């Protein structure tokens, strides 16, 4: 086992991040691709691997840490955010990653999720959204579309689903992005961006569960429909999509509209993406129609929003440092004695 | 002008009672400090309502503070009181039952007007100050409200504000009665109202007014002297249980060099530990007020994984929420200290009252076979020792540890001959270090404890989780025999801890006797006092107080055989007794009180006498 | 005890909603006013009082149900939303009210809160926000401002607070409003609006805790500052405020700006409030600056957003009705027998 | 063409084992139905991995289904099997230990190629089909993959899809071996693939191919006949525990006229109850898949307050989360049924394996003194009875009731002579009605149950909550004696339930004997079979199976006195035994298995024999 303190140590490769455990997802599961992309990006980040910690909850996706040859914890359902918060607050120098599913983070773990976002701990959150409970064999999840027929909803689900991007914006997240299992390059890009962001980076990843919810994201991932149904957003770039980059988004007042760039509109008419604009990020978040609806908007992928705000871990550790600076390191005898003592001889 | 005669008393119990807004807790605490500094031994019992400020004048709004101080060893706040301060009818009504026949009542007569009578549900014609019902007591009727208003007439303060200073008059008066100096309280007032000099001045004025009132008027024909107690030589301070618990944690942190991470959510009566610890950032103490109890304990687990000592504090309902995560910590085999400051249950129950009814929850409240060590503090200062122990056991044995305290000792005070840092034992912790061999996260030492390998250590990368683990490697294992092996191993790990805790001692009484009374937790003082009295009477009785509830000390079974009868006293409906009966098949008898109030010495004495026959 | 089934029964009065229990809040607490306004509005709603149910969690505010002479439950901390969900789903004809605090609903109960909003049960939520934990004697809450010194934050809080209106919008609430304890008429108005809304009505009420957080909303409630610091929004009306209604809000692109109506701008230049406009409601939700900041925006009060969406309780009960219609009322013998049986003689 | 000789057997155990993707559960279920319809008595045991689809070919991915069917009474799925179907090396390796010496192995030889050997960690030169290690069994080697591909060569389906039909060939073959008709399975296939006629046709083709293979080839020299069992006359069906539990709830709903409200969150192995109940909307059943377990149980409490029967279902970790709310329901005194389908613990543990380790959690897992009734089902069909009982007790006694089942009986099947609706007792519920007097929500009837007054009823407006309540009025009360009174009253309410449950009977054996074996829950079948065998051997042994765990039946103490020794068999580390030792001071012995697997009959026989001496 190589020791990696040495800065001149050989550069890490993806293989260094592969653990000795058999990967046990169903053949064809979208989780494989995400695992691979993470293992691809990590060696490039220039950090020794002992500094990475992957914390997950419970769910198919949450098995992830077992497959990474880093530190890791497969915890309990919904609580990864809280565990990661404790770890990052007390060990701010570590690179902490949270792996979770739509059930894990938006159902049982919803509260920790929104609190993590508002506190803005410097943690990278990969939210595997397959719009289903995979591990428990196919009940609907808080991101499943209304009307979905599953084992627990034989007459169709009646829950209005969460829009994870909108929810994250409402919880004052400082970094919000979306990507998909079938676009390796894009996942890698998003993971890198998330890593570079100081604060909680929420990356929603559309992930196909080919056993219980196959094809949920097909229109976004399949070659035939992808270009017309997805909108890849990049900071400073106009919102353009379509088979031949022939469609654009303009804002008509506050209403986004699709325009045809071959018919009178040009790229310069289009809305230019600004990652720091909260209002516009909120509008983009609402590009969330069912793709079967006439006149629907394409689904955005990329970084919706990214701003800087002090992190909870920094603030906490600054208070510690300041307290020591101001009062000196704690003196146990003084503490125990308190303000008033008396002596008996 | 010493008009009053002076009497020497061995001990006195005073109960301050008034409306929640009357400042009785502050008055009590101030007097406690004065008594402590004077060298008395003492015990206190604050008793306040669940509402922040229940409607003024009502029974529900009565707030009480009892102090027992003396020149002899004091173990309890006293069954009954010698002096009752009652700021209104409700306070009198709620507390008169506790006053000794012939005791003194100091009443604020203004609190007995028609309005107050009505609020306390006392018919107008049954004003206790007038209907003779207090004839068996010595009643001192003072219009404290009026005196206060007069004293501060030209302070420029509003009536409402002025009235709030009434308690200082009472405090001054009591200082005079017991021959105590008011200086420390003046210091306290000055520092408390540093930025409000007008209020400071008003308070001091009234404090002095109270003192002078005693000296000048002839209301009191006696003044009392309670000499310092004979206590072991040493340096003392006054300490409350929650404070002591916080200090114990910090001390263990210093002695183990493990930084504290507290993940918690406020709840009565545990919140004060959070308040205390949040002040000690310069000890490297990190406090995290989480969004709920589950997040609190989970954050603590995350911090423990990172090499801190993870701590979580709560009371019954919050502890219930933490159980799933405590199960995780048990399988992860990470250190974790869970402090349960018990209160009256079930459910929300009696949030500000005391009880010992969460023992079974601590032992059995998780899914699956999930044993964890459980220890309990016996007195306010013992919270220090047991908190230190909890950290030691958790960190050295890689295991979650339950520390049980309760509302009674958490808020009660006693003098404490506190230890010096240098005299506290080191808590040796060895984090795992890289070796030539492949790292095995579930390898074990002789304590059956596994290595603590913290992230950031090169070469020790490993994954842990809540699924059953393979022995030694820690990999997921669904193997049938491995599971049984691991379940038994986790049990054995707890059982083996018995090698690392003190044997059970007999606290009081003979090694063989007729009756053994067993207690745990905060019943210590009451049992001690009762058994002392019976021993003086020549009764064949002994007292054992169990601090280590799981595992039990190794010699308990043997010890039980030396007594004809075993009585288990608990502030619950019978919990420890179940364990003892199951384990030792001993036909133990229960003495149970479930009233949100500690045992009185009398109650214990009576039961013991009944059994002694 | 009068029986109220009779439709000709005498009209109810506020007194009919006063229970026989002593109100035990601190003197001066803002909760008193809210209680009074609810007791004032309820008799006017034309519903017999046995149809009202108040469900609360734990906190000072959550003592509310005890003081109402209706059906009620004071439950456990954070869980009122879940309990109310069960009640309303199974008894849709009842008028269900949820009473909660900022700790109760945004700290421990945060998950149930956002799920209630997305499911859109027809429940009226009164969220008493005093920006503090009152009952446990003064720790900071998820709505306390950063830097707040409390019992648990001696060096000041380091948590970025939730914006309850923005969070509710992110959770896809269908009715979002804000009011304050010190404006009885406005509370009454909001309560009525909330009641009339079909779906979850979230009403945030600024409530002064005079013991542990006195004056938190002073600038909004005190005569001297109120007019300049608050913005009362009404559907279809321009956003105007100020001592003499002399200030207005215009939108400069997506940026709201305060303009002086005595200096070149008129009411017709101002942004006209549209309760159904999600984008604008989101912008209004972000009028959330610290009032001590130079150039800050006034704090909006009123209905931010109100749209119609089918309620969970209606959909559930429709499914039940449809199932009965389609399959007939359940036949127990058929159910137990299942598809295949055999007989032994 | 009857080449094979026919043998009559009393009972047979077949174990189907293959990869998770091989459809062994379906094959097993189909054969079970056929056996049941034929009139055999039977018991089944599905045994599958925690992963949805663990990596193909590995040991972790093996999925098994065992069926024991016979012409005699069958109580367990069998300790060992007569026939093992193994679709690959891993399946053989994982299950060969359960095969009787001389038993038959049907292997798919294609699953023994190099790749499969490697995946199962079997060295190439130790292919069990070749190294002689199977000499003591009768091995039938078939290249099922090849046969399947050939059979469907011109079906137009892809290889992957074709391969998925392999199990139908196996099923057909086994039908032939045991002389069963394939008609029902054809019906099943047709209805399952209603919209995919191509797949239906392919499956049927293979089913027939399997059957014909048996008939045509000379691979099998014997064909077996297992005659219908002698069972009590009546109409039967095959039933699994979770199904039965759901039916029991619905039946109780019909018989009590209380609509069901299920508030729950999916978790293995409880989710199927949600799946079942969500189908019965035309019974007025409302199912709510909540955001978590806490919301699930709380919604159920809300619904109970509204007059439904609130139900919540989960397994260990989820039950842990519900405890605070169950405490609330206890103080509210509302009906609530909590179904715990136990699995291997602690923590996430072994999610798909069985265990009985949540009994202590059910009894003691809450803060404060918080007693609730606990009952347990003994067999798959008994889940119906006990679910019915749980609703009855909860609704008539206004109390939360724990119903314990476990993964073994939840997924196991048996023939069930099911009851007729008209023969089920009514569950009489009287909602409170307005009277002249002021309504007292905590007044009590002779069962100590309080009135159930549902919102919407004029004149009964009232408030309830988790703070301690005053006796009768239900108002908040902080009174010390009222609290003790209420704690004892809630205990007495549970204790009194003993008047409303059956006395404990001896299931098997004499009223007085040498050894009494006590079981609870799913150990029933194994104990029954073992004791039967010993009784036939003339041993002095008896079996009592406890269905009502809290309160215990009134006569248990008396009953225990009739036996010299008491053995308590549990799939945990000793839980019920603790209760019995504590309550009756009986020196009971434990027989504990904590392997995620049910007891075998042998294990119980051996232990009993050891004790019998
Ligand atoms: C406390 C608790 N409740 C429920 C479960 C059961 N459970 C495990 S994973 C899961 C949901 C999985 O869905 P998701 O988070 O979307 O992950 P996926 O499997 O789809 O990747 C559930 C309900 C559990 N393990 N623990
Ligand atoms: C499970 C649980 N955790 C913690 C508590 C303690 N507790 C009661 S109320 C409360 C917070 C109160 O704050 P909020 O909801 O804002 O209500 P307020 O008192 O301010 O009206 C807390 C922490 C509890 N009762 N139960
Ligand atoms: S069930 Fe779905 S999400 Fe889970 S491993 Fe299989 S394909 Fe992936
Ligand atoms: S503590 Fe604050 S919120 Fe609670 S009753 Fe008193 S003033 Fe009101
Ligand atoms: Mg999912
Ligand atoms: Mg609050």
Torsion of CA D420, D421, D426, D427, to 10 degrees: 110
Residue-wise over B126-151: b if at least 16 C-beta within 10 A, else e?
A: ebbbeeeebeebebbebebbebbbeb
CB atoms within 10 A of CB B2: 7
Q: Compare CB distances from D596 to B480, B573, B582 and report the shortest one's residue.
A: B480
Q: What is the mean pLDDT of chain B?
A: 94
Question: Residue B562: CB partners within 8 Å, gap ≥ 6?
Answer: B511, B512, B513, B516
Which tens digit of pLDDT belongs to each residue from A43-94?
999 999 999 999 999 999 999 999 999 999 999 999 999 999 999 999 999 9
Question: Residue C4: which pLDDT band, with cuts at 50, 70 and 90?
Answer: very low
B52 lines ligand 4 (CB under 6 A): yes
The burial class, CB within 10 Å (0-12 / 13-18 / 19+), for D166 is buried
How far apart, in whole angstroms, are the C-alpha atoms of residue B380 and residue B396?
25
Mean pLDDT of B84-109: 93
Beta strand B234-240 pairing with A342-344: antiparallel
Asked if residues D374 and D366 have their Cβ atoms less than 8 Å apart, the reply is: no
The burial class, CB within 10 Å (0-12 / 13-18 / 19+), for C251 is middle
Question: Residue C123: which pLDDT band, with cuts at 50, 70 and 90?
Answer: very high
How far apart, in whole angstroms, are the C-alpha atoms of residue B439 and residue B460?
6
Q: Residue D464: pLDDT above 50?
A: yes
Q: Residue B390: pLDDT above 50?
A: yes
CB atoms within 10 A of CB A47: 15
Q: What is the CA radius of gyration of chain B?
A: 27
How far apart, in whole angstroms, are the C-alpha atoms of residue A136 and residue A132?
9
Give me ligand 6 centre to Cα C143, in Å: 9
Which tens digit of pLDDT belongs to each residue from D176-189?
999 999 998 999 99
Higher pLDDT pick, A304 / B102? A304
Q: D52 and A60 in contact by Cβ < 8 A?
A: yes
A99-113, B67-81, B155-169, B587-601, range with the lowest pLDDT:
B155-169
In 3-state terms chain C splits into helix, strand, coil percentages (rounded to 5) of 35, 20, 45
Which phi-psi region, left, alpha or beta, contains residue C328 (left: φ > 0; alpha: ψ -120 to 50)? left
- The confidence score (pLDDT) of residue B3 equals 52
**Is D152 strand, coil or helix?**
coil
Q: What is the DSSP letter of C12?
A: P
**Is D529 strand, coil or helix?**
helix
Chosen for mutation from B338, B346, B399, B599 (greatest number of chain D CBs closer than 10 Å) is B346
Q: What H or E segment, with its residue span, contains residue B119?
A: helix B114-119
* Sign of the torsion angle spanned by Cα atoms B491, B497, B503, B504: negative
Chosen for mutation from D346, D353, D482, D570 (greatest number of chain B CBs closer than 10 Å) is D346
CB atoms within 10 A of CB C344: 15
A255 is written with which tokens?
């209403």
- The confidence score (pLDDT) of residue A9 equals 61
Q: Residue D1: pLDDT above 50?
A: no
Which tens digit of pLDDT belongs to each residue from C82-108?
999 999 999 999 999 999 999 999 999
Per the listing, tokens 């407006």 go with D461
Q: Residue A4: pLDDT above 70?
A: no
How far apart, in whole angstroms, are the C-alpha atoms of residue B99 and residue D366?
37
Higher pLDDT pick, D222 / D162? D162
Which phi-psi region, left, alpha or beta, contains residue A253 (left: φ > 0; alpha: ψ -120 to 50)? left
User: What is the greatest pairwise CA distance in chain C?
Assistant: 99
Mean pLDDT of C233-248: 96
Q: D247 and C48 in contact by Cβ < 8 A?
A: no
B416-425, D34-43, D364-373, range with the lowest pLDDT:
D34-43
- The confidence score (pLDDT) of residue C205 equals 98
Asked if residues D479 and C90 have their Cβ atoms less than 8 Å apart, the reply is: no
Q: What is the mean pLDDT of chain D?
A: 94
Which tens digit of pLDDT belongs to each residue from A240-297?
999 999 999 999 888 999 999 999 899 999 999 999 999 999 999 999 988 888 889 9
Which tens digit of pLDDT belongs to each residue from B574-591?
999 999 999 999 999 999
Provide the terminal-to-terminal Cα distance of chain C, rounded to the nearest Å: 61
Q: In what order do the strands lie in the sheet with B513-520?
A: B508-509, B541-546, B513-520, B563-570, B589-592
How far apart, in whole angstroms, are the C-alpha atoms of residue A284 and residue A282?
5
A123 Cβ under 8 Å from any chain C Cβ: no
Question: Residue D185: CB partners within 8 Å, gap ≥ 6?
Answer: D30, D34, D171, D175, D207
Q: Looking at beta carbons, which pairs linking C23-28 to residues 24 or more positions away fall under 8 Å?
A: C23/B55, C23/C67, C24/B51, C24/B53, C24/B54, C24/B55, C24/B60, C24/B61, C24/C63, C25/B51, C25/B52, C25/B53, C25/C60, C25/C63, C26/B52, C26/B53, C26/C210, C26/C211, C27/B53, C27/B56, C28/C210
Q: Tell me which residue has its CA closest to atom 10 in ligand 2.
A: C59
Q: Compare CB distances from B347 to D327, D363, D578 and report the shortest one's residue.
A: D327
Q: Which residue, among C6, C152, C128, has the nearest Cα to C57 in the 3D structure?
A: C128
Which tens digit of pLDDT belongs to each residue from B8-44?
999 999 999 999 889 999 999 999 998 998 889 999 9
- The confidence score (pLDDT) of residue B50 equals 74
Which tens digit of pLDDT belongs to each residue from A58-68?
999 999 999 99
Question: Residue D29: which pLDDT band, with cuts at 50, 70 and 90?
Answer: very high
Which tens digit of pLDDT belongs to each residue from B513-530?
999 999 999 999 999 999
Question: Residue A8: which pLDDT band, with cuts at 50, 70 and 90?
Answer: low
CB atoms within 10 A of CB A198: 16
Q: What is the DSSP letter of A341?
A: -
D194 is written with which tokens?
């209603």
Higher pLDDT pick, D596 / B1? D596
Asked if residues A57 and A104 have their Cβ atoms less than 8 Å apart, the reply is: yes
Which tens digit of pLDDT belongs to each residue from B257-274?
999 999 999 999 999 999
- The confidence score (pLDDT) of residue A135 equals 96
Asked if residues A306 and A197 have their Cβ atoms less than 8 Å apart, the reply is: yes
- The confidence score (pLDDT) of residue A344 equals 86
Q: What is the CA radius of gyration of chain C?
A: 23
Q: Residue D344: pLDDT above 80?
A: yes
Asked if residues A272 and A236 have their Cβ atoms less than 8 Å apart, the reply is: yes
**Nearest-Cα residue of chain B relative to residue D592:** B484
D159 Cβ under 8 Å from any chain A Cβ: no
**Nearest-Cα residue of chain C relative to residue B292:** C108
Mean pLDDT of A296-315: 97
Give how far B596 is from chain D: nearest CA, Å.
6
Which tens digit of pLDDT belongs to each residue from D486-522?
999 999 999 999 999 999 999 999 999 999 999 999 9
Per the listing, tokens 């909550």 go with D465
The burial class, CB within 10 Å (0-12 / 13-18 / 19+), for B154 is exposed
Question: Residue D216: which pLDDT band, with cuts at 50, 70 and 90?
Answer: confident
Q: Pick the atom of ligand 2 nearest to B321's CA.
A: 1
- The confidence score (pLDDT) of residue B154 equals 85
B343 lines ligand 2 (CB under 6 A): no
How far apart, in whole angstroms, are the C-alpha atoms of residue B219 and residue B540?
47
The ligand placed nearest to the CA atom of residue A211 is 3
Q: Which residue, among B228, B555, B516, B243, has the nearest Cα to B379 in the 3D structure?
A: B243
Mean pLDDT of A35-39: 98
Question: Residue A2: which pLDDT band, with cuts at 50, 70 and 90?
Answer: very low
- The confidence score (pLDDT) of residue C7 equals 53
- The confidence score (pLDDT) of residue C8 equals 56
Distance of CA C244 to the CA centre of its chain: 30
Q: Tell me which residue has its CA closest to atom 3 in ligand 3.
A: A209
Mean pLDDT of B132-148: 92
Question: Residue C148: which pLDDT band, with cuts at 50, 70 and 90?
Answer: very high
Asked if residues D67 and D75 have their Cβ atoms less than 8 Å apart, the reply is: no
This model of the complex carries an ipTM of: 0.95
CATH fold, domain C14-243+270-312, is: Rossmann fold (3.40.50)
For chain C, which chains pass the contact test of at least 3 CB pairs under 8 Å? A, B, D
**Nearest-Cα residue of chain D relative to residue C48:** D458
Q: What is the CA radius of gyration of chain A?
A: 23
Mean pLDDT of B63-71: 94
B5-9, B173-177, B209-213, D343-347, range with the lowest pLDDT:
B5-9
Q: Residue B219: pLDDT above 60?
A: yes
How far apart, in whole angstroms, are the C-alpha atoms of residue C111 and residue B294?
13
Q: What is the DSSP letter of D369?
A: S
B195 is written with which tokens?
């930025």
Question: Residue B546: CB partners within 8 Å, gap ≥ 6?
Answer: B376, B504, B518, B519, B520, B552, B553, B556, B576
Q: Residue B297: pLDDT above 90?
A: yes
Higher pLDDT pick, B384 / B185? B384
Q: Compare CB distances from C342 to D236, D307, D308 and report the shortest one's residue.
A: D236
How far apart, in whole angstroms, are the C-alpha atoms of residue A36 and residue A14?
8
How far apart, in whole angstroms, are the C-alpha atoms of residue C46 and residue B555?
72
Asked if residues B11 and B226 have their Cβ atoms less than 8 Å apart, the reply is: yes
Domain map of chain A by residue range?
Answer: 14-243+270-312
How far apart, in whole angstroms, are the C-alpha atoms of residue D526 and residue D523?
6
Q: What structural domains and CATH numbers belong to chain D?
A: 5-226 (3.40.920.10), 243-423 (3.40.50.970), 508-612 (3.40.50.920)
Give how far C28 is from chain D: nearest CA, Å.
23
Asked if residues A130 and A217 have their Cβ atoms less than 8 Å apart, the reply is: no
Q: Following DSSP, what letter does each residue of B529-550 receive, concatenated?
A: HHHHHHHHTT--EEEEEESEEE
**Nearest-Cα residue of chain D relative to residue C342:** D236
How far apart, in whole angstroms, are the C-alpha atoms of residue C325 and residue C318?
10
């Amino acid at each position: 086992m190589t020791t990696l303190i040495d800065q001149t140590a050989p550069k890490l490769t993806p293989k260094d991040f592969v653990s000795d455990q058999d990967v046990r997802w169903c053949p064809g599961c979208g989780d494989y691709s995400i695992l691979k992309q993470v293992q691809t990006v990590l060696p490039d980040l220039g950090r020794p691997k002992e500094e990475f910690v992957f914390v997950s909850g419970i769910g198919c996706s949450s098995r992830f840490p077992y497959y990474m040859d880093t530190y890791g914890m497969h915890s309990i359902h919904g609580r990864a955010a809280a565990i990661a918060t404790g770890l990052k607050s007390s060990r701010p120098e570590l690179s902490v990653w949270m792996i979770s599913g739509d059930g894990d983070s938006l159902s049982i773990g919803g509260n920790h999720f929104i609190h993590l976002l508002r506190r803005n701990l410097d943690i990278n959150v990969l939210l595997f959204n397959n719009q289903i409970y995979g591990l428990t064999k196919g009940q609907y999840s808080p991101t499943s579309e209304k009307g979905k027929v599953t084992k627990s909803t034989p007459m169709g689900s009646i829950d209005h689903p969460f829009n994870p991007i909108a929810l994250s914006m409402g919880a004052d997240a400082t970094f919000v992005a979306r990507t998909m299992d079938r676009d390796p390059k894009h996942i890698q890009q998003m993971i890198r961006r998330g890593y570079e962001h100081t604060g909680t980076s929420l990356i929603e990843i559309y992930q196909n569960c080919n056993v219980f919810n196959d094809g949920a994201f097909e229109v976004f991932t399949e070659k035939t429909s992808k270009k017309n149904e997805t909108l890849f957003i990049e900071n400073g770039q106009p919102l353009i999509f379509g088979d031949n980059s022939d469609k654009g988004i303009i804002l008509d007042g506050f209403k986004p509209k699709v325009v045809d760039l071959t018919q009178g509109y040009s790229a310069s008419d289009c809305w230019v993406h600004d990652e720091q604009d909260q209002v516009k990020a909120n509008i983009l978040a609402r590009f969330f129609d069912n793709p079967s609806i006439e006149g629907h908007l394409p689904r955005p992928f990329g970084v919706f929003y990214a701003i800087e705000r002090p992190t909870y871990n920094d603030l906490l550790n600054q208070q510690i440092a300041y307290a020591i600076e101001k009062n000196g390191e704690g003196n146990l005898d003084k503490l125990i004695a308190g303000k008033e003592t008396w002596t008996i001889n | 002008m010493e008009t009053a005669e002076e009497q020497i008393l061995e001990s006195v119990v005073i109960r301050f009672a008034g409306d929640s807004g009357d400042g009785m807790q502050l008055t009590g605490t101030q007097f406690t400090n004065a008594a402590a500094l004077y060298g008395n031994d003492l015990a206190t019992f604050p008793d306040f309502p669940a509402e922040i400020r229940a409607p003024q004048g009502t029974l529900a709004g009565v707030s009480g503070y009892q102090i027992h101080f003396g020149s002899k060893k004091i173990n309890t706040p006293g069954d009954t009181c010698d002096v009752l301060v009652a700021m209104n009818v409700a306070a009198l009504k709620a507390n008169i039952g506790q006053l000794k026949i012939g005791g003194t009542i100091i009443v604020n007569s203004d609190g007995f007007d028609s309005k107050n009578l009505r609020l306390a549900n006392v018919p107008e014609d049954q004003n206790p100050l007038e209907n003779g019902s207090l004839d068996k007591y010595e009643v001192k009727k003072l219009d404290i409200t009026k005196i206060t208003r007069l004293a501060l007439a030209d302070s420029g303060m509003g009536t409402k504000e002025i009235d709030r200073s009434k308690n200082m008059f009472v405090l001054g008066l009591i200082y005079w009665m017991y021959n105590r100096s008011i200086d420390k309280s003046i210091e306290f007032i000055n520092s408390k109202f540093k930025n409000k000099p007008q209020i400071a001045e008003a308070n001091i004025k009234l404090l002095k007014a109270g003192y002078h009132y005693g000296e000048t008027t002839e209301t009191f024909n006696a003044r009392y002297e309670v000499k310092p107690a004979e206590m072991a030589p040493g340096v003392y301070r006054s300490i409350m249980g929650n404070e002591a618990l916080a200090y114990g944690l910090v001390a263990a942190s210093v002695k183990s060099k493990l930084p504290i991470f507290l993940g918690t959510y406020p709840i009565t009566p545990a919140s004060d530990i959070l308040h205390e610890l949040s002040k000690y950032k310069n000890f490297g103490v990190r406090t995290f007020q989480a969004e709920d109890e589950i997040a609190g304990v989970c954050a603590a687990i995350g911090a423990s994984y990172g090499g801190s000592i993870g701590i979580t504090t709560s009371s019954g309902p919050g502890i219930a929420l933490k159980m799933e995560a405590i199960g995780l910590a048990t399988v992860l085999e990470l250190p974790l200290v869970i402090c349960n400051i018990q209160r009256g249950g079930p459910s929300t129950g009696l949030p500000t009252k005391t009880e010992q009814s969460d023992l079974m929850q601590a032992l059995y409240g998780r899914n699956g076979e999930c044993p964890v060590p459980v220890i309990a503090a016996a007195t306010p200062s013992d919270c220090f020792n047991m908190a230190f122990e909890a950290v030691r056991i958790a960190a050295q044995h890689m295991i979650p540890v339950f520390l049980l305290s309760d509302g009674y000792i958490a808020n009660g005070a006693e003098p404490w001959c506190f230890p010096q840092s240098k005299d506290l034992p080191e808590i040796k912790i060895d984090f795992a270090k890289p070796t030539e061999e492949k790292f095995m996260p579930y390898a074990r030492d002789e304590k059956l404890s596994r290595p603590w390998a913290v992230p950031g250590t090169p070469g020790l990368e490993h994954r842990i989780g809540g699924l059953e683990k393979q022995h030694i490697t820690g990999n997921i294992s669904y193997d049938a025999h491995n599971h049984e092996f691991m379940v038994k191993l986790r049990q054995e790990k707890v059982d083996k801890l018995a090698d690392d805790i003190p044997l059970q001692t007999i606290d009081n009484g003979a090694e063989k006797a007729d009756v053994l009374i067993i207690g745990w937790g905060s019943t210590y003082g009451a049992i001690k006092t009762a058994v002392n009295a019976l021993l003086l009477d020549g009764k064949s009785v002994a007292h054992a107080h169990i601090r280590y509830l799981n595992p039990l000390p190794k010699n308990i079974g043997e010890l039980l055989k030396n007594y004809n009868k075993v009585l288990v006293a608990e502030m619950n409906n019978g919990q420890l007794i179940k364990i003892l009966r199951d384990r030792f098949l001993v036909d133990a008898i229960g003495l149970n009180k479930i009233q949100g109030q500690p045992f009185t010495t009398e109650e214990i004495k009576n039961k013991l006498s009944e059994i002694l026959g």
